[in-house]
Chains A and B, each alone.
Chain A
Amino acid sequence: MKAQAGGYVRATDVSHALRMLAEADGAGRVLAGGQSLIAAMNMRLSTGDMLVDISRLAELSGVTDDGDCLRIGALTRHVDIGRDPLIRRFAPLLSEAVDHIAHAAIRNRGTIGGALAHADPAAEFPAAILCLDATLHIQGPDGTRSVAAGDFFVDVFTTDLQEGEILIAITLRKCAQGEHQVLEEVARRSGDYALAGLCLIRRSSGHRVALLSVGATPVLATGAMAALDTGTVDEAVAALKTEIDPPSDTQASASYRKHLAGVLLRRAVARIEGGQP
């Protein structure tokens, strides 16, 4: 099918984009990489949008070293996240996530901000930034605000972003020496959305575990985290299974997803420890 848009404007800077969103009076839509939005428009899931194209705003793109933190512009493309040396060194979970996201031609245009704002529960970046306990920086008509990743994802395709607001950047604490960050997932075909996926971080202060494709939002598995801190992998797998409530759909049943989550946790731990799961 063909996309039907109400109108289009190419933003010249963030304040111009915010002004145009306000002018669109509820019909405004931020267009970043377009890899989810244009697909939805083609399927006529979304029509009449007043598109505010932010994709040329260079100020929103790129990774910077802020001392203890990394700052990632919302428009940084998947392909650039994948090859960025700062990300590779200080947030390897994100570089690994890119390998699992869609296909090369889609990674060439899709942006991290678009993936987070889109909030597909099966997407890798939302779970990864939850695992990393990152902060999202948002600009709106009333100024700027920051939201913790744990508060950002509200429901399927729904975030804390309000009408007229733009996600500007993400900041996260740099990975420490000796810290491990891994992502494991099962998908039917390379590049397809995962049936289930799991991010694991092991740092001196403890573990972080976040899952994708097992609920309406990415899930922080606090029970499994506590069990990994103090107990065995078996205990962590048992805890994990009580704290997720995955959906059944045409791709996989709920019980299969639960099973996969346990398998992925074992794989992730084994990878960190260099053994067999």
Chain B
Amino acid sequence: MSDSFRAKVDIALTVNGEPVEARVPAGRHLIDFLRLDLGLTGAHASCEHGVCGACTVRVDGDAVRGCLTLAAQLDGSEVWTVEGLSDTAEIRVLQDAFVARNALQCGFCTPGMLVAAQELLHRRPIPDRAAIREHLSGNYCRCTGYEAIVDAVEDTLRKCADEDMA
């Protein structure tokens, strides 16, 4: 592997906690690998140049663009998508707040929003509304006008902070 260029690259990684082995074309995006090869269609492929945030997933602990990451780069990595984060209940509070606040309509942006917003949950002191907006500025939503999304994230941050104190 290390000595010459490959048109197809062998990778072994974990996706949502499960080991996965695959042979991927060198130019395959992570988002297409997840959606088309693994059937994990939660995160979406939309603009494919980093602008809309619909493809945001977690790689080795960080929210990243699935359309600006190649699957070939991810040998040994740990990837989490909205499916896995739902199964482990890690983002349950955030999801409940999205439902309670009506922070989605068509839902197209929601998986990316959840993964991006999750990065804020461990930040202390808790970010104010302006900082929440700033953090989510890379995720387009064509339906909600963002207000309800910011409300949901703010509710969740407060709730998590209260739990920390308790």
Residues of A within 8 A of B (CB): 1-12, 16, 20, 23-24, 31, 34-35, 38-39, 41-43, 50-51, 53, 55, 79, 102-106, 108-109, 189-191
Q: Mark B54-78, 1 if CB is under 8 A from A, else 0.
A: 0010000011110111101101000
Q: How far is the CA of A182 from the CA of B67 in the complex (A)?
A: 33
Stretch at the interface among B24-32, B87-95, B99-107: B24-32
Contact of B68 among A11, A38, A55 (CB under 8 A): A38
A5 to B73, CA, bound (A): 13
Knowing A2-B32, A105-B53, say if A9 contacts B68 (CB, 8 Å). Answer: no
Given contacts A43-B49, A51-B5, A190-B133, 8 further A-B contacts (CB under 8 A): A6-B7, A7-B26, A9-B4, A9-B5, A35-B65, A42-B29, A104-B116, A109-B68
User: Are A39's CB and B68's CB within 8 A?
Assistant: yes
The listed residue (A6, A8, A108) touching B70 by CB distance below 8 A is A8
- Could you tell me if B73 and A34 are in contact, using CB atoms closer than 8 angstroms? yes
> How many of B's residues come within 8 Å of A, CB to CB?
38
B137 within 8 A of A: yes
Chain A: which residue is nearest B112 at the CB level? A105
Residues from chain B with a CB closer than 8 A to the CB of A34 are 68-70, 73
Q: Which 5 A-B pairs have the closest CB atoms?
A: A103-B138, A7-B5, A8-B26, A5-B27, A3-B27
Known: A2-B32, A55-B73, A189-B137. A108 touches B64 (CB 8 A): yes
Residues on B with C-beta less than 8 A from A104 are: 63, 116, 119, 135, 138
Mark out the residues of chain B between 33 and 65 whose CB falls within 8 Å of any chain A CB in the assembled complex.
48-50, 53, 56, 62-65
CA distance A109 to B64 in the complex (A): 7
B28 contacts which chain A residues (CB < 8 A)?
3
B135 to chain A, nearest CB (A): 6
Complex CA–CA separation, A23 to B1 (angstroms): 15
Given contacts A9-B2, A109-B64, contact A39 B26 (CB under 8 A): no
Roughly how many angstroms separate A26 CA and B26 CA in the complex, as a whole number?
Answer: 18
Interface residue B142 (Cβ < 8 Å from any Cβ of A): no
Tell me if A102 and B5 are in contact (CB < 8 A). no
Asked if residues A105 and B70 are in contact (CB atoms below 8 Å), the reply is no
Classify the secondary structure of B's interface with A.
mixed
CA distance A1 to B46 in the complex (A): 10
A264 to chain B minimum Cβ distance, whole angstroms, is: 20
- A33 to B79: give the CA distance in the assembly, Å: 17
Q: Which residues of A contact B49 (CB under 8 A)?
A: 39, 42-43
User: Cβ of B6 < 8 Å from any Cβ of A?
Assistant: yes
Q: Which of A5, A35, A43, A190 lies in contact with B134, CB distance below 8 A?
A: A190
Can you name 24 A-B pairs with beta carbons within 8 Å? A4-B27, A5-B70, A6-B5, A6-B7, A8-B5, A8-B26, A9-B4, A10-B72, A10-B75, A12-B2, A16-B2, A23-B4, A31-B70, A35-B68, A38-B70, A42-B48, A51-B70, A55-B73, A103-B53, A103-B139, A104-B119, A108-B62, A190-B134, A190-B137
Q: Which of A16, A39, A50 has the most chain B CB within a 10 Å cutoff?
A: A39
Within 8 A of A (CB), among B133-147: 133-135, 137-139
A108-B48 Cα distance, complex, nearest whole Å: 17
A73 CB to nearest B CB, Å: 18
Given A2-B27, A105-B138, A8 and B6 touching (CB < 8 A)?
A: yes
- The answer to whether A9 touches B6 (Cβ under 8 A) is yes
Which single residue of chain A is at the shortest CB-CB distance from B69?
A34
A165 vs B32: C-alpha distance in the bound complex, in angstroms?
A: 31
Judged by a CB distance under 8 angstroms, whether B9 is at the interface is yes
